[in-house]
Structure formats: structure tokens, C-alpha cells
Chains A and B, each alone.
Chain A
Amino acid sequence: MLEAAGLECVRQGRALFRSLSFSLSTGERLRVAGANGSGKTSLLRILCGLLAPNAGEVRWRGEKIDRLKEEYSRQLVYLGHAPAVKEELTAAENLAIACRLAGFAANTHDALARLGIAGDVAVRKLSQGQRRRAALARLVVSAQVPLWLLDEPYAALDTQAASTVDALIAEHAARGGAVIFTTHQETGTTQARVLELHA
């Protein structure tokens, strides 16, 4: 489904990784591991098309992603370091807007309930972990989106929320979706293939 061929990433004159190749098939979970600064986030940004690799290419179902553009964007969910929620809006408004921008409608109430977030409170009033949960609610509504790219999905979460994320990832893989995620924690790593990045 997703193929990376000979990827190279150079940041500030230093090569983070060279000739990195792997492929991901349906229902597979891939955990990107490596020390801080080894290029995990850069790899994820390359895979979702936000960053152009210095060499190599990423192919989605055999076609290069820079040719597919929005057609590829529609097939993926990217959860970055920043939670991508607006502080002035409520969690429900944030989620509804994210869905409309991604091009589908969804039941925001159930999604937020699953992560234990009240939809009608401005995100500004939520704690760091709760903001993270509000961001993760996007995963619940994105069941139909085949590829999930998650950058540190477990950061700032308590054990209960972390197990919810575990369950979401497992459900998605069982559905035939593919998940690539980075994490330092050992949770959720049991059934995932590991890709080790060496700086």
C-alpha cells in the first residue's frame, strides 16, 4: 500500500537517514524508533508529503505521492507534535472543522465521548493531556481513512487514554488500515514491526 524507496533526509547539513526503504501493507503497524533527533518526525513529514525528501520517493499504491497531491492527502490522517486544535474553539467545533477540511462528515459527539472529553468547553480551558485527547478524537472519526501517521500519539496521555489509543490502533489494523507511529513508550508496541533509525 505504502512504499518508501531510497529516502534520504538532510537537515542543517547533517544526513538524518540515507537510502531508507520499506513498504507497508494493509493491516500492518509500523513503529518508528530511534533516539531524539534521529529523524522520526522528519520521516513522518516526508511520508505525508509535508516535506520533500532530498532523495528517493514515496509511493502510494504504486503512484508517487507528489503526483497524487490531494488525492493522497484524502487517504491519510497525520497527527503531528502540535495538537492542531484551536484554543478559542471548543473540542467539538475543532473536530467538526477538521472533518470538513478532510472532506467528510462525522459524529463528533461519540468520538469525543470515547476519549472522555466534553465537547462544549473551549480548548483553552483544558489541560495539556486533555488537549491531546481532543486531537486524538480525530482518529475515532477517521476509521475509513486507510493510512494513519501518528507522531508521538502517547505523549502527555494517562494510562487510560493510552490504552484507548492502543485499542484504536489495533481496531484500525484489524479493519485493514495501516498505521505508522513513533513513540518512546513501550505501550502498543507488541504487535508492531519496528523500524530503527540511527542518527
Chain B
Amino acid sequence: MLDAAFCVVRRDLLLAWRRKSDVATALLFFVIVTSLFPLGVGAEPTLLRAIAPGVIWVAALLSSMLSLSRLFAADHADGTLEQMLLGAAPLGVVAAAKAAAHWIVAGLPLALIAPCIALQYDLQAALWPVLALSLLLGTPVLSLIGAIGAALTLGLRGGGILLSLLVLPLYVPVLILGAGSVDMASAGMGGEGQLLLLAALLVAAGAFAPWAIAAALRISME
């Protein structure tokens, strides 16, 4: 069972490596969107510091969503998804592995690059770890919830737009907690509460989302 999960993660990472431009696009999107805000809002340090957590988090949501529509669509088109449904491992395990691979490609780089982005907003150095940690805990939840939406909208016409309408409202708790943790830390109250809640969300999503993804995939494949 674990063997199948590792196999799927390895396969998806290998595919991402052979199609590097797709990965780079999502990451560059994140960098460019977050760089546009200081240019548009103006170089007022107090204002920039105030909007930084929210802007970076919203950009992370959008960037992580960019690659969602391709999560199952490519496998669906070439028939490999059918083979995963007929695999020896439970579909929930395969679904969790797909979401994990999506996070490594589309979520983890955001958490790593976020402290550099924070420089543009004059965010205090003490807040960088909080920002990175909140993204590190929050982006896997985005991948897991997003994968449910991607599975549900699989094979639909205009599925990409529908996917964003379906998934973005579900991202709200992650956004509030993620941006809130940095806000609280900058106000000197410590962001531990929000980070712990994010971790709880991650545990809950990790436990339940794979089975929801599997059920959605089965419906979409009929």
C-alpha cells in the first residue's frame, strides 16, 4: 500500500521534473503577484507591513490553485487515472499521494520563497519564520481541499473556472488562520494559537480529504 503511494509521488515528481515550465509558471505567478502590490499601493512602509501577510497568503492561494486543474486532468486524458482506480492499493491512498505530490511541487516552494517576498514588504525578520511556518502548515490543506474540487470538476466543460468558484470559498479558514498568525505575531501576541489551529486543520484534512477525493474521482469517472 505504502509502496503504491511512494510510486505515485515519485511518478508525479518525475513528471513535474520533465515539465519544469509548469512548476516555474506557478512559482513565478506567486512572485509577480506579490511584487505588484508594493508597486501599486506605494512604498509606505507601515501600510506595506500591514498588508503583507494577507497579500502573500492570497497570492499563495491563487498560485496553488493554478496547477489544480491539471492535477487529475492529464491522468484522466491518457487513461492512467483509470489504471489507478483499478490498482492494488485503495484509491484513498493514491489520492493522498497525488495531493502530497501537488504540495511538494506547488506548495512547498511557496513556503520556502515567502521570506524573500516578505523583504519587499519590510516585514520584520522575526516574523519570517512565522510566515514560512504558516505556509508550511497551510499549503498542504490547500492541496488536499483543492484535490477534492479537481476530482469533482474532472471532465467538465469550463471546469477550471468552476473549480476556482468551488474551491476558493473553502480556502477561507486557511487564509484567515494563516494571515492571522503573522498579524498576531507582529502585534506581539504570538501566532501560536492560529498555527496550532492550522495544524489541526491539516490533520483533519489529511484524515478525511483523501477519501472524499477518492469518492469524487469514482463519480467523475463513471
Residues of B within 8 A of A83 (CB): 78-79
Tell me the A residues contacting B by CB distance below 8 Å: 48-52, 69-70, 73-74, 76, 78, 80-89, 93, 97-98, 100-104
Pick out which of these stretches binds chain A: B8-16, B26-34, B106-114, B141-149: B8-16
Find B87's partner among A73, A80, A81, A87 (CB 8 Å cutoff): A73
Contact A101 B19 (CB under 8 A): no
* Complex contact A51–B88 (CB within 8 A): no
Shortest A89–chain B CB gap in Å is: 7
Judged by a CB distance under 8 angstroms, whether B89 is at the interface is: yes
- Asked whether A86 lies within 8 Å of B80 as measured between CB atoms, the reply is yes
B19, B89, B94 — which one has the most chain A CB atoms within 10 A of its CB?
B89
Complex partner residue of A88 from B15, B90, B94, CB under 8 angstroms: B15
Which of B8, B79, B222 has a CB less than 8 Å from the CB of A80?
B79
Report which residue of B8, B77, B79 has the largest number of chain A beta carbons within 10 angstroms of its beta carbon. Answer: B79
Q: Given the interface contacts A89-B15, A97-B7, does A103 sit within 8 Å of B79 by beta carbon?
A: no
| A73 close to B78 (CB less than 8 A) | no
Q: Are B222 and A52 in contact (CB under 8 A)?
A: yes
Enumerate 6 A-B pairs (CB-CB under 8 Å) in ascending A order: A50-B86, A50-B221, A78-B83, A82-B77, A100-B7, A101-B4
Chain B positions within 8 Å of A73 at CB level = 85-88
For the complex, give the distance between the alpha carbons of A48 and B221 in Å. 13
Q: Is the CB of A78 within 8 A of B8?
A: no
Which residues of chain B have C-beta atoms less than 8 A from A100's C-beta? Answer: 3-4, 7
Q: Which 8 A-B pairs give the minimum distances between C-beta atoms? A: A82-B79, A103-B88, A84-B79, A88-B18, A101-B87, A100-B7, A73-B86, A74-B88
Shortest beta-carbon distance from B128 to chain A in Å: 36
Q: List, in ascending order, chain B residues with CB within 8 A of A52's CB.
A: 222
A50 — which chain B residues lie within 8 A by C-beta? Answer: 82, 85-86, 221-222
**Chain B residues positioned under 8 Å from A84 (CB to CB):** 78-80, 82-83
A82 near B78: Cβ-Cβ < 8 Å = yes
A70-B87, A84-B82, A101-B94 given; 14 more Cβ-contact pairs under 8 Å: A48-B86, A50-B86, A73-B88, A82-B77, A86-B11, A87-B78, A88-B18, A88-B19, A89-B15, A100-B4, A101-B7, A101-B84, A102-B88, A103-B89
CB distance from B73 to the nearest CB of A (A): 13
Expressed in whole angstroms, the minimum distance between the Cβ of A60 and any Cβ of chain B is 13
| Interfacial residues of chain B within 33-52, with CB under 8 A of chain A in the complex | none
- CB contact between B88 and one of A78, A85, A89, A101 (< 8 Å): that residue: A101
Whole-angstrom distance between the Cβ of B187 and the nearest chain A Cβ = 47
Report Cα–Cα, A101/B82, bound state, in Å.
11
Q: With the chains together, A51 CA to B84 CA distance in Å? A: 14
Q: Do A51 and B222 touch (CB < 8 A)? A: yes
User: How far is the CB of B133 from the nearest CB of chain A, in Å?
Assistant: 34
Q: Once the chains are docked, how many angstroms separate the CA of A93 from the CA of B7?
A: 11
For A102, list chain B residues within 8 Å (CB): 83, 87-88
Q: Could you say which residues of chain A place their CB within 8 Å of the CB of B222?
A: 50-52
Pairwise interchain contact A103-B7, C-beta atoms closer than 8 A: no
CA A22 to CA B110, docked complex, whole Å: 55
User: In the complex, A74 Cα to B94 Cα: how many Å?
Assistant: 15
A103 in contact with B78 given A50-B86, A70-B88, A73-B87 (CB within 8 Å): no
Selected contact of B14 from candidates A69, A93, A98, CB within 8 Å: A93
Q: How far is the CA of A9 from the CA of B126 in the complex (A)?
A: 63
* Chain B residues positioned under 8 Å from A88 (CB to CB): 14-15, 18-19
CA distance A50 to B4 in the complex (A): 19
CB distance A76 to B11 under 8 Å?
Answer: no
Q: Which residues of B contact A70 (CB under 8 A)?
A: 87-90
